Structure 1
């Protein structure tokens, strides 16, 4: 009798990080053969409930899903995606299409509210009917109490507009269910944006001319009702698509979702056991918000009509102290970071040093703002890497702002900074901007017509 020695099956070899890099590069080359693959000309504003609020500089859901899909094809073991500058949550809802755990934070309470609505694991499918009842209740309300204590309210809202917004706010407060109220608050936020006296041609607060305001006849209740119908339909389509992709079980999203109010410079302090994350996908600010995209100013009027307690216990009402407070708290908005000094920053990025040294005398604070933003951004990078797994991939979508008529080489600076922190830039893609709504009257970003997408891998532990 012949005996055959038993052999354990040979386990499949685990590809090295370098082999995964090479596979990704091949995938990206094939997919990028179409020049519009990363720059989709087609835009579906209802995609993934993208249009429930007109948030500044939103990413395109389809493009983010394509990026994510390419990385998942090479790294199918990825289970979670993190966005430390999540804005309205486009990266996070992109992750939901693949059944990933999604995690994000933002310093802006309105961004947190919008993202919490979009990434909810469970939703109320009759929210459209509820919104109709809210509008009817507001229309039947005859009280004239104004439900906001904001300073200088008369500048930003006509008297009849304030009355109807107050009636809507009272009706929303009566609703049961936290997610329902959050959905209604987001709809009210867009109503405020459309019915205030603020101009919509820029994200900075600028009142319309008095002669134009006098000609406007607005009914926030009517606007709210119309928006609620659109938002409910958009959200229903999003959840239906998740269900078709088998990412819902008993109408509940299959993975974890967690959205928080938080400063990315301290991310490691509040993510705790949720971290480390498998993948990062984000679009960070282009520079300090005060002189680039004023996310905070854009959010200032809507937030005055929303109950902060329904956003997050960590949402600080003091962010409404002034029109610039949220932006001042954002990267580069105020002095005080001692983690990354100017000397450390400029040593880490020679390209940034050359750019800073070559800036013209005007604007006289241009260099100061540039350095202040990047020292804060450096501190954010430290914190972000602390919550990412070794060998995890990071997808950074960045734009190049202008200072003194010169374009900051944001993508090259980011590449030098991350490589100095034991990361590797695997490749850089170019995305042409077809649809992203930017502040046309803001000289810091008006000329930006393309973005760079950096695929970065964190070093081994």
Structure 2
């Protein structure tokens, strides 16, 4: 949608990688709800910044999700909160005033080698903002402010923004950068407040707000999708709508690296009780924890995968011998993905629907037929693809310098139905 509103449903509070388009997801969801008005809940096992869930909130659905990335969980919890503070704009202004009045110069981050990524003056202002945010009593308010600080960190760091992988700007460019986190945070907070409150007004106009609170349930957790069946009830969700990773994060979209700097300025306790500071122990830790990021003994080995997906076998066999890790990365990712798929399908009610938005990444210059492989894996687990749609990508933020995703000009959207048994 070339004319999409970037502020739609608080979509702009942080530039998270490869976000879905809210209006597209709402149209997909509306079509399914027209056919199945009995649907009351939506679940996203790879929740990202929460676009699927806020799309469900427009229809008054119970909205649930999880993600392995703490920053994704923070953003989703901000956007899907049942109750928000209507005076958040004034509070944000007071946070900046409090930060400016702070005369302490100590740096409030455990980020190793922070001098590489931040000018001293920038690090000091970020530290003052961090201390000022901590003084706020309301948890949702702090989460909103942390999300705003995360985008402030992204924009004022010495990291390049042309790729999601961490790369410092050239030395001469860094020397010329003169940015004030106070000013950036203030502008972002104003825009984010406007976006959040506009979204709430939309919910209110749709009669989805009662006594200042979203009328249905919302929950987002920090969880590995390969283990979610331990946390959600089997058959408890009517509809699953998601966009899974296109491949292992290290070689496709590096969600973890993109989150690394911001997470070093956020209080993990405010994100989730299970948030683990070791997730940012290194720049690669989060991506290594994600699907296909490491060897972890998946029950789906190469033989099992190939039995369930002929096209995956054909693609793996077509890969050139160099680079030698291409096949290994492919199998490792799909082993983890198939394992998570098994868990996800168990959570969907009998005769329930799924909407999968996928992109076909490349390995060694060859495009992985992700949509076909997914349909074969689903078929092997009692699910049928009803139809597949193609959407041209106009605005989706992708890492242009990443060869694995450079060819992604379109997405495939699979509408899937689970068997009644």
Shorter-chain TM-score: what band? over 0.9
CA shift for structure 1 position 362: 2.2
1:260 corresponds to which residue? 221
Paired with 1:193 and 1:95, the residues of 2 have a C-alpha distance of: 29
Question: Matched residues in 2 for 1:338 and 1:223: separation?
Answer: 44
Query: CA offset at residue 296 of structure 1?
Result: 0.4
TM-score (norm 1): 0.91
Structure 1 match to 2:293: 333
2:356 equivalent to 1:400: no
The answer as to whether partners of 1:349 and 1:413 remain within 8 angstroms in 2 is yes
| 1:33-68, Cα deviation, whole Å (9 max, x unpaired) | xxxxxxx22210110000000000000000000000
Give 1:337 shift: 2.8
CA–CA distance in structure 1, aligned partners of residues 274 and 232 of structure 2: 14
- Aligned residue for 2:231, secondary structure, equals helix
Count how many residue pairs are aligned between Structure 1 and Structure 2.
Answer: 421
Paired residue for 1:72?
A: 33
Give the whole-Å Cα distance in 2 for the aligned partners of 1:77 and 1:115: 25
Distance 2:6 2:323 in 1: 37
Aligned pairs for 1:30-429 (under 5 A) are 40-272=1-233, 276-429=236-389
Per-residue CA distance 1:54-90 (angstroms, 9 max, x = gap):
0000000000000000000000000000000010000
State the Cα deviation string for residues 107-157 of structure 1 (Å, max 9, x = none). Answer: 000000000000000000100100000001111111001101111111111
**1:270: how far off?**
1.2
Aligned-pair RMSD on alpha carbons?
0.8
Q: Contact (CA 8 Å) 1:337, 1:376: kept in 2 or not?
A: no
Rounded Cα–Cα distance in structure 2 between residues aligned with 1:443 and 1:362: 16
In terms of Rg, which structure is larger? 1
Contact 1:294 1:327 in 2 (8 A): yes
Distance 1:53 1:316 in 2: 21
Distance 2:154 2:5 in 1: 21
SS at match of 1:205: coil
Give, in whole Å, the separation in 1 of the partners of 2:351 and 2:186: 48
Runs of 4 or more above 6 Å deviation: none
Structure 2 residue aligned with 1:454: 414
Aligned with residue 444 of structure 1, among 399, 404, 407: 404
Deviations 1:400-454 (CA, angstroms, capped at 9, x unpaired): 0000000000000000000011111101000110110100000000110000000
Q: Gapped runs of 5+ residues in structure 1?
A: 1-39
| 5+ residue gaps, structure 2 | none
Deviation per CA, 1:167-215: give whole Å up to 9, x if none: 0000000001000000000000000000000000000000001110000
**Alpha-carbon distance between aligned partners in 2 of 1:176 and 1:45, rounded to the nearest angstrom:** 30
Deviation at 1:256, TM superposition (A): 0.2
Report the secondary structure of 1:103's partner residue: strand
Deviation at 1:272, TM superposition (A): 3.8
In the aligned structure 2, how far is the partner of 1:82 from the partner of 1:272? 12
